[in-house]
A and B are shown apart, each in its own frame.
Chain A
Amino acid sequence: MEEVILALIFVLGTPGLLLPLIDYLRGTRISPYVTLLATALALALLTTLIGREATIFSGALRLDPLSTYLSLIATLGSFLVVLASLPQAKDWSTSPSLYSLILLSLLGVYFLLYVNDASVLIAAWALVAVASYVIVGIRKDEDSLEASVKYALMGVLSSSLLVFGVALMFGVTKGSSLSSLEHVPPNMRMVLFLGALLLIAALGFKMGVVPFHAWLPDVYGGAHPLLVSFVSGVIKLISIGAFLRVLLPIIQPIGDYWVITVALLSTLTMFYGNLAALVQRNVQRMMAYSSIAQAGYFLVAFTALYSLTSRELALQAIGLQVTTYVLAKVGIFIGLSYLARMGFDLTLEGLKGVGRTMKVSGSMLAILMFSLMGMPPLIGFWSKFMYVFLSVMDLAPWLALIGVVNSGISVGYYALVVRYMYFANPPNGARESLRDPEFYVLLITGLLTTVLGLGLVDQLVKILS
């Protein structure tokens, strides 16, 4: 298995380091295609790891089925983003760096999902974090720069909290391996909790958990939607991976504090995200707030991890919710970038009647919105209602109820977008074309959302547990 990981490093790392050199020096533009190939190859390599469990590289990394599954989803997401970027990014002067950063940060995402050692955690976190700040600002226009600087400043704060939290936690255990976290002296509970809280803040920052969310609307709402699709769809997975690897072992020692803290943050995040999304007129910004709300749903499942009886269900819930989330967010942001490229204004008014002229793309966008809303039988219904909310029923039924109420609120804005897209006279001009890669990305994400929901949920659960 070590050789698969080495192969992954080679497949993603080599082009990641070399591509900008080649493209900038020789003036060619081969990086998009090489990146596409590399991610496809990584996808294939990862499938060989499905269902495997092992500790490798003398304990630095640990494989398990859930992490492999999340890596697969992340790779799929990156593949789709690169595919969608083909017609646009070629024109950007900085695009070779973009592809290099995508490849390197994807590698970092793998490390964070497989992490088993504190040093790997910090190194991989830094790799992905720095890459993501640059990705946001890569277009060098005003909005992107503003978003990027904000993101970076906030990121520095959160990364330092991460390091501090890690220091506290591993100071208690006196080891650097994450598996040492399972044996904590009971009298150190408070210190452990403090460390965990700092980590929750740091990871919550990346996920967009209220009150660590402030950067998110500006970044997701201000940067180019294509870049946002990568940042929100793929990079966000690092915090979920780190949550599972670093915090999962110490949930039991922390005890009740875990439930209180995470449930509180989850409630805040769901309400804030959904309520703020209701008043947005800019769809990209609305989707940014919807990302915050989705982070709240993740926290519901994280709360459920406390109960040993429902832990398995909660882990499956996280896996499925990631599937829903990545498919929907990558699809929606790429869809928005497609629409922007076709000359639409990304406000509700601007999207009037889009579904009428761009029939397939429009209906796929609607499907993705409905999936986020939790409309059966799409994958979003299963992951949210049947796994996430169900998993917390034993521990805190009231949190499940809050979640259900929140998904009721969210209908308000998702249905509003669909309404504007469909119930209006079609705009003139823009037509979708079979030559647009974004079209295929929407088709893939939309169909996967439907097909997985229609009957493959069970198979997914088998892969990820």
Chain B
Amino acid sequence: MYAMLTWSVPFVGAVLSLVLNRAGKVRDVVAVLAILASALFSTLTLMEFLSSGKPIHVSYEWVSSLGISLGVYVDSLSAYMSLIVAWLSFLIAAYSLKYMEGDPGLTRYWFFFDFFVGSMLLLVLADNMIAMFLGWEGTGLASYALIGHWYRDEEERCVGDIGRKALGVPMWFTPSQSGLRAIVFTRLGDVGFIAGIGVLYYLSHTFSLPAISERVAEWSGPLAERGLLFPFLLIFSLGAFAKSAQFPFHEWLVTAMTGPTSVSALIHAATMVKAGVYFLLRFSPIFVLAAQEVPAAEQQVRTFFTAVSLIGAFTAFMMASQALVSRELKLILAFSTASQLGYMFLAIGSAGLIAEFPSGFIAGFSHLMSHAIFKASLFLVAGAVIHAVHSRFIDEMGGLWNYMRWSFLAMSLAALSLMGVPPFMGFWTKDSVLEVAKESGVLIPFSLAVVTAGLTAFYSTRMVLRTFVIKREHHHEHHEAHPLMLLPYLALALISLALGAAWPLYGPELMSGMSLSVLGMHEHFHPEVHLDLELLALSLTVVFAGILVAGLLYLTERGRATDLRGPLSAIHSFLYDRWFINAVYYRTIVAGFSWLSRGVFKYFDSAVIDSLYHRLIPWLISALSTLGFKYFETEVVDETYHERVVRGFTSIGSFVRRIQTGLINQYLAIFILGLMLVLLIALWVG
């Protein structure tokens, strides 16, 4: 019951914030309280679940004729996930009370904020794919609105360098463009998701998640026998790849930075992008089950998991490399998110390849949670800094630690966690990801992941140094952030440290709680904290190397991109222009599509019709009138009549011209020809 309230209360909050449109502060506080209530309910849900240890399944009939219910399914995955989503959202909401103060569009902001949180919780807790899809689309819609929140498209709200182009394609984006990009990019993937739901329903006649897991042989069998299981899994997960900004869908996340920073924190830490990872966590145990129950499926499921781990590792590496050179604070964090999401995908992909699936599952899941905590903290600090300096570029920051000591502390702690420095929580979870990747025995993803660890250390150090440490000339006094903003991110950074420090003590217990009962996962799992010394040495070496190089470069002022020459400068612009992927998309996909639709349009409606119209009709009229003149001139020479005929023809001509700009006979010809064609095709095919 608590679980139903967990996701529905934020929706109530959303509606209330509309109702309290004119109530100013009251509206804001009510919206935040709704999320607090949801967070409390999520805690109660978790306690209820832990006390029984059995999944809680509550379900109400919704559309009986299709067997669609509206219900919740609480297992350890959804219980812990909703806990982290709800509490993080609450902290971010509390932060935005101050951060967004005085913004003219606050009703809209709070409506979509609560709507966003509610949708995410619905997605997490849903017991069937339709409700899940509802939440899924809800997050997409809300993000569309929130990313484009500053719809006026002022220059300081944009992302990217104004005026910069790559391959002739502009590389800066206004908020409204970014909102559109977010919805179009993620909708591309959703087409795969909904098609997958359709196939599952077609084969197993159910939308319910537990039933999908029970009837796993029913749907995976027929697909596997025809060799279609691998493509199916890939298409079904397309939505997850798009939502979680994995290659080749990563571009939207980068430009999504045009939203208010609190929204970026929300999207990156708890909601939206985590939905894709959650999707894989939710379904991968079922996929593994399919491999166990249907012999024919095993190889295809393995191929799928290999693909996931490859894409994950590649994204992790690519995005980390782009973070190396970025000049915008929020962009660095955005690249870093996509890169860390790649780690999670890598963990889940590797999990499917190793003997002990649950250990990989837990690695991905716990990295999701630890990333949520430190990334929320990082974004919130970034918001405070951008607020204070009035610039999004790190070139214009620096030396801030004098003025914003607590913020400096928070960012350093969170960044250390991101780098994976012991004993922060990020260290434990990242290391377990690397361990699983190593165990899977596929070399490429593992080595990419190790290199990424070094890159991560480099860009995180660079970010902290250039934001807070290195002195810049001529800057003004800055103030520490308001306590309401400071407390959430400081608390999160400290939590990340404390959780990490205590990990050896409570880690195993937490992990066994997290895998207590997961839909489709039947093996029992006894997690323990153990360290693979070889791996530990490797990863720590890489991490400290990254920190060292960055420290040397930036503390000694050698790392300025302006001094670069030759191949280094080429690499720099390759990374800076995001591997030219955005430009290539515009050049191929966007241009291709607009070429196609323009072509269709032109051919049918403009070109043929116009040319015929301008020739055929005038010719006909003039021929007729010449004939007419001849006849009347020889037979009846009457001035007035003569004039009338001329006028008559002219008026007929202009009348025809007036009503026929779209040439009706052309339309009629299309009609008849089309009919004939359809008849021929039907006879031929039938």
Residue pair A276, B604 in contact (C-beta under 8 Å): yes
* Complex Cα spacing A275 to B686, Å: 28
* Complex Cα spacing A142 to B681, Å: 39
Take A389-B198, A404-B191 as given contacts and tell me if A265 and B678 are in contact as well, using a CB distance cutoff of 8 Å: yes
* Complex Cα spacing A11 to B191, Å: 47
Within 8 A of A (CB), among B177-221: 179-180, 183-184, 187-188, 190-191, 194-195, 198-199, 201-202
Residue pair A205, B671 in contact (C-beta under 8 Å): yes
A385 at the interface (CB under 8 A from B): yes
B668 at the interface (CB under 8 A from A): yes
Residue pair A197, B151 in contact (C-beta under 8 Å): no
Take A154-B668, A404-B198 as given contacts and tell me if A272 and B604 are in contact as well, using a CB distance cutoff of 8 Å: yes
* Complex Cα spacing A261 to B682, Å: 6
A99 at the interface (CB under 8 A from B): no
Select the stretch in B410-418, B460-468, B516-524, B594-602 that faces chain A. Answer: B594-602
Contacts of B601 in A (CB 8 A): 275-276, 279
* Complex Cα spacing A404 to B195, Å: 7
Q: Which of A157, A377, A394 contacts B134 (CB 8 A)?
A: A377
Residue pair B600, A376 in contact (C-beta under 8 Å): no
B623 at the interface (CB under 8 A from A): no
B562 at the interface (CB under 8 A from A): no
Per-residue CB contact flags for chain B residues 434-451 toward chain A (1 = under 8 Å, else 0) read 000000000000000000
Contacts of B184 in A (CB 8 A): 411-412, 415
Take A214-B670, A386-B68 as given contacts and tell me if A419 and B658 are in contact as well, using a CB distance cutoff of 8 Å: no
B129 nearest CB across to chain A (Å)? 11
Find the B residue at minimum CB distance from A152. B664
Contacts of B582 in A (CB 8 A): none
Contacts of A154 in B (CB 8 A): 664, 667-668, 671
Select the stretch in B59-67, B424-432, B491-499 that faces chain A. Answer: B59-67
A432 at the interface (CB under 8 A from B): no
Take A154-B671, A419-B176, A423-B151 as given contacts and tell me if A264 and B130 are in contact as well, using a CB distance cutoff of 8 Å: no
Residue pair B604, A415 in contact (C-beta under 8 Å): no
B137 at the interface (CB under 8 A from A): yes
Find the B residue at minimum CB distance from A401. B195
Interface size bracket, A side: 35 or more
Within 8 A of A (CB), among B632-686: 658-662, 664, 666-668, 670-675, 677-679, 681-683, 685-686
A175 at the interface (CB under 8 A from B): no
Residue pair A145, B659 in contact (C-beta under 8 Å): yes
Find the B residue at minimum CB distance from A406. B191
Q: Which of B62, B133, B183, B659 contacts A150 (CB 8 A)?
A: B659
Take A157-B668, A390-B201, A393-B201 as given contacts and tell me if A408 and B187 are in contact as well, using a CB distance cutoff of 8 Å: yes
Contacts of A114 in B (CB 8 A): none
Q: Which of B133, B198, B597, B604 contacts A393 (CB 8 A)?
A: B198
A444 at the interface (CB under 8 A from B): no
A316 at the interface (CB under 8 A from B): yes
Select the stretch in A54-62, A121-129, A236-244, A455-463 that faces chain B. Answer: A455-463
A11 nearest CB across to chain B (Å)? 34
Within 8 A of A (CB), among B110-159: 130, 133-134, 137-138, 141, 144-145, 148, 151-153
* Complex Cα spacing A265 to B678, Å: 8
Find the A residue at minimum CB distance from B674. A211
A3 at the interface (CB under 8 A from B): no
Find the B residue at minimum CB distance from A256. B686
Q: What's the A-B contact tally at a CB cutoff of 8 Å?
A: 171
A172 at the interface (CB under 8 A from B): no
* Complex Cα spacing A432 to B603, Å: 40
B314 nearest CB across to chain A (Å)? 25
Residue pair B674, A422 in contact (C-beta under 8 Å): no
Residue pair A376, B133 in contact (C-beta under 8 Å): yes
Within 8 A of B (CB), among A195-237: 197-198, 201, 205, 210-212, 214-215, 217-218
B residues contacting the other copy or chain, number (CB 8 A): 66
B605 at the interface (CB under 8 A from A): yes
Find the A residue at minimum CB distance from B197. A385
Per-residue CB contact flags for chain A residues 408-432 toward chain B (1 = under 8 Å, else 0) read 1001100110010011110000000
Residue pair B152, A150 in contact (C-beta under 8 Å): no
Take A260-B681, A376-B133, A423-B175 as given contacts and tell me if A416 and B180 are in contact as well, using a CB distance cutoff of 8 Å: yes
Contacts of B686 in A (CB 8 A): 255-257, 260
Take A146-B659, A458-B64 as given contacts and tell me if A264 and B678 are in contact as well, using a CB distance cutoff of 8 Å: yes
A400 at the interface (CB under 8 A from B): yes
Within 8 A of B (CB), among A312-361: 316, 356
* Complex Cα spacing A198 to B672, Å: 10
Contacts of A87 in B (CB 8 A): none
A375 at the interface (CB under 8 A from B): yes
* Complex Cα spacing A380 to B675, Å: 31
Contacts of B664 in A (CB 8 A): 149-150, 153-154
B593 at the interface (CB under 8 A from A): yes
A69 at the interface (CB under 8 A from B): no
* Complex Cα spacing A154 to B65, Å: 41
Contacts of A461 in B (CB 8 A): 63, 65
Contacts of A381 in B (CB 8 A): 137
* Complex Cα spacing A394 to B203, Å: 10
Find the A residue at minimum CB distance from B153. A423
Take A214-B671, A278-B593, A389-B198 as given contacts and tell me if A422 and B148 are in contact as well, using a CB distance cutoff of 8 Å: yes
Take A276-B601, A458-B65 as given contacts and tell me if A264 and B681 are in contact as well, using a CB distance cutoff of 8 Å: yes
Take A197-B679, A217-B605, A276-B597 as given contacts and tell me if A146 and B658 are in contact as well, using a CB distance cutoff of 8 Å: yes
- Among A150, A260, A386, the most chain B Cβ lie within 10 Å of the Cβ of A386
Contacts of B152 in A (CB 8 A): 424-425
Contacts of B62 in A (CB 8 A): 455, 458
* Complex Cα spacing A405 to B191, Å: 6
Take A278-B593, A279-B598 as given contacts and tell me if A197 and B678 are in contact as well, using a CB distance cutoff of 8 Å: yes
Residue pair B662, A211 in contact (C-beta under 8 Å): no
A296 nearest CB across to chain B (Å)? 14
Find the B residue at minimum CB distance from A385. B194
Find the B residue at minimum CB distance from A455. B62
Residue pair A419, B148 in contact (C-beta under 8 Å): yes
Q: Which of B64, B141, B597, B675 contacts A375 (CB 8 A)?
A: B141
Residue pair B670, A393 in contact (C-beta under 8 Å): no
A185 at the interface (CB under 8 A from B): no
Contacts of B137 in A (CB 8 A): 375-376, 381
Contacts of A275 in B (CB 8 A): 596-597, 600-601
Contacts of A146 in B (CB 8 A): 658-662
B92 nearest CB across to chain A (Å)? 23
Contacts of A412 in B (CB 8 A): 184
Residue pair A279, B151 in contact (C-beta under 8 Å): no
B387 nearest CB across to chain A (Å)? 23
* Complex Cα spacing A160 to B678, Å: 18
A193 nearest CB across to chain B (Å)? 8
Contacts of A150 in B (CB 8 A): 659, 662, 664, 667
Take A264-B682, A419-B148 as given contacts and tell me if A197 and B675 are in contact as well, using a CB distance cutoff of 8 Å: yes
A171 at the interface (CB under 8 A from B): no
A316 nearest CB across to chain B (Å)? 7
Per-residue CB contact flags for chain B residues 35-47 toward chain A (1 = under 8 Å, else 0) read 0000000000000
Residue pair A272, B202 in contact (C-beta under 8 Å): no
A-B contact pairs, 14 of them (CB 8 A): A146-B661, A150-B659, A153-B664, A154-B664, A211-B670, A211-B675, A257-B683, A261-B678, A381-B137, A405-B191, A407-B191, A408-B190, A419-B176, A461-B65
CB-CB nearest 9 A-B residue pairs: A211-B674, A423-B176, A214-B667, A423-B151, A275-B597, A408-B191, A278-B597, A376-B134, A261-B682
Where the two chains meet, the residues of B that have a C-beta atom closer than 8 Å to any C-beta of A are: 62-66, 68, 130, 133-134, 137-138, 141, 144-145, 148, 151-153, 175-176, 179-180, 183-184, 187-188, 190-191, 194-195, 198-199, 201-202, 593-594, 596-598, 600-601, 604-605, 658-662, 664, 666-668, 670-675, 677-679, 681-683, 685-686
Sample of 6 more A-B contacts, CB < 8 Å, known A146-B660, A194-B679, A400-B198: A201-B678, A212-B674, A276-B597, A390-B66, A408-B191, A419-B148
